[in-house]
Amino acid sequence: MAGINLEGVTKRFGTTVALDSVSLEISDGEIFTLLGPSGCGKTTTLRVIAGFETPDEGRVYIGDRDVTMLKPYERNTAMVFQNYALWPHMRVFDNIAYGLKLRKLPRSEIVRRVRWAAELLEIDHLLDRYPHQLSGGQQQRVAVARAIVTEPEVLLMDEPLSNLDAHLRLKMREEIVRLQKRLGVTIVYVTHDQEEALSISHRVAVMNRGRVEQVGTPVEVYEKPATYFVATFIGRSTVLEGIVSEVLGSGMVRVMIEGGLSIVGTDMEGGLREGERVRVVIRPERVKAGSEYNGENVFEGTVSLAMFLGWRTQLKVEVGGQEITIYSDPRRAPAPGQPVRFYVDPEEAKVYRHTGSS
């Protein structure tokens, strides 16, 4: 098995800079996810690792080998595509066996390996079928079996679950985690679904416009987003704009929000000064609603919208000319028009410089 290093990789398509000096260190045997909005460069990163694209600048290493100029088949990687890319005219057996035949393995070895992969993915009863005789979930399993059968050091997965229905997607998430544990293979996984990324990954790289904004464990990127982009891309949040009115020390600042609210929050980038324009990011699930709260960062507003979500109710609360999203216990949720009091822990009000660019 092998880790992967990208060093200053830049890739341009005409005038589009798909990757802008991307550096990543992916450890041996981890599930490493590239997460970001459409067009941020996730697939291009995967294709550069696979060897389907050659970087304009920078190097790619798999293990100790510089593979930057090697052909895809010289890299010992395998890719699972979003649309599965199965051969329609080949039975499942031959689809899975394809890479082994290319490598000219003896027939008995091919049969042994195909059976092993098919059993692992629980599709051994489907080996005689054609792809059009399979459900989407079964096709997905065939695609994964075909990728692992060659025993690659690195498994590259490009939005592999996006064509599956919601239930199956949850089940397959667990299977991918189990598969990785069992095989010990390094997985580089691409998704724009943040919950999928947080739930399956050892580490996540959050990408934006061809750059890496933050690399960290799922807990790190969720709890300590390094940039405003990461804070608002991961999880749900209310964003309030304002001006630093006081620097309080220990990384805390007081922010005067447009409309007159005053809130104490945490300076996430460091070095904020009085008078700087900022944005305060607050996650609804971290706001505490209840009449018992008093003092700093306690607000009272009026519910403008209540949406029952099952295990919680989402409330929009109007306060000081702003609308803040919070959650409430559905059994005690106030109705629209009713007052609600809530507390925002200063640790949970994350303050970022307002650069004006995003």
Question: What residues make contact with ligand ATP under the rule CB under 6 A?
Answer: 13, 16, 18, 36, 38-44, 192
Beta-bridge partners for 266: 252, 350
For the bound state, the minimum distance from the C-beta of residue 253 to ligand ATP, rounded and expressed in Å, comes to 34
Compare residues 192 and 283 and give the one whose CB is closer to ligand ATP. 192
For the bound state, the minimum distance from the C-beta of residue 42 to ligand ATP, rounded and expressed in Å, comes to 4
> Which are the contacts of 178, defined by CB distance < 8 A and separation ≥ 6?
none
For the bound state, the minimum distance from the C-beta of residue 36 to ligand ATP, rounded and expressed in Å, comes to 6
For the bound state, the minimum distance from the C-beta of residue 265 to ligand ATP, rounded and expressed in Å, comes to 31
The helix or strand, by DSSP H or E, that contains position 338, with its residue range, turns out to be: none
Beta-bridge partners for 214: 206
Compare residues 36 and 301 and give the one whose CB is closer to ligand ATP. 36
How far is the C-alpha of 188 from the C-alpha of 158, rounded, in Å?
A: 8
3-class state of residue 140 by DSSP: helix
Compare residues 210 and 225 and give the one whose CB is closer to ligand ATP. 210
> Which are the contacts of 34, defined by CB distance < 8 A and separation ≥ 6?
42, 45, 46, 188, 189, 190, 191, 204, 205, 207
For the bound state, the minimum distance from the C-beta of residue 353 to ligand ATP, rounded and expressed in Å, comes to 25
Compare residues 35 and 255 and give the one whose CB is closer to ligand ATP. 35
Compare residues 43 and 76 and give the one whose CB is closer to ligand ATP. 43
Compare residues 114 and 200 and give the one whose CB is closer to ligand ATP. 200
Count the alpha carbons within 13 Å of 62 in the hemisphere toward its beta carbon. Answer: 27
For the bound state, the minimum distance from the C-beta of residue 127 to ligand ATP, rounded and expressed in Å, comes to 32
CB 248 within 8 A of CB 208: no
For the bound state, the minimum distance from the C-beta of residue 204 to ligand ATP, rounded and expressed in Å, comes to 14
Compare residues 13 and 73 and give the one whose CB is closer to ligand ATP. 13
Compare residues 13 and 308 and give the one whose CB is closer to ligand ATP. 13
Compare residues 39 and 216 and give the one whose CB is closer to ligand ATP. 39
For the bound state, the minimum distance from the C-beta of residue 190 to ligand ATP, rounded and expressed in Å, comes to 6
Beta-bridge partners for 345: none
> Which are the contacts of 240, defined by CB distance < 8 A and separation ≥ 6?
255, 257, 258, 261, 263, 279, 280, 282, 322, 324
For the bound state, the minimum distance from the C-beta of residue 94 to ligand ATP, rounded and expressed in Å, comes to 29
Closest by alpha carbon to 281, among 316, 237, 220?
A: 237
For the bound state, the minimum distance from the C-beta of residue 262 to ligand ATP, rounded and expressed in Å, comes to 39
Dihedral sign for Cα 103, 107, 109, 111, please.
positive
Q: Tokens at residue 54, please?
A: 């050659």
Q: For the chain, where are the alpha helices, taking DSSP H only? A: 42-50, 92-102, 107-120, 136-148, 166-183, 194-200, 218-223, 228-233
Compare residues 55 and 265 and give the one whose CB is closer to ligand ATP. 55
3-class state of residue 266 by DSSP: strand
How far is the C-alpha of 50 from the C-alpha of 152, rounded, in Å?
A: 11
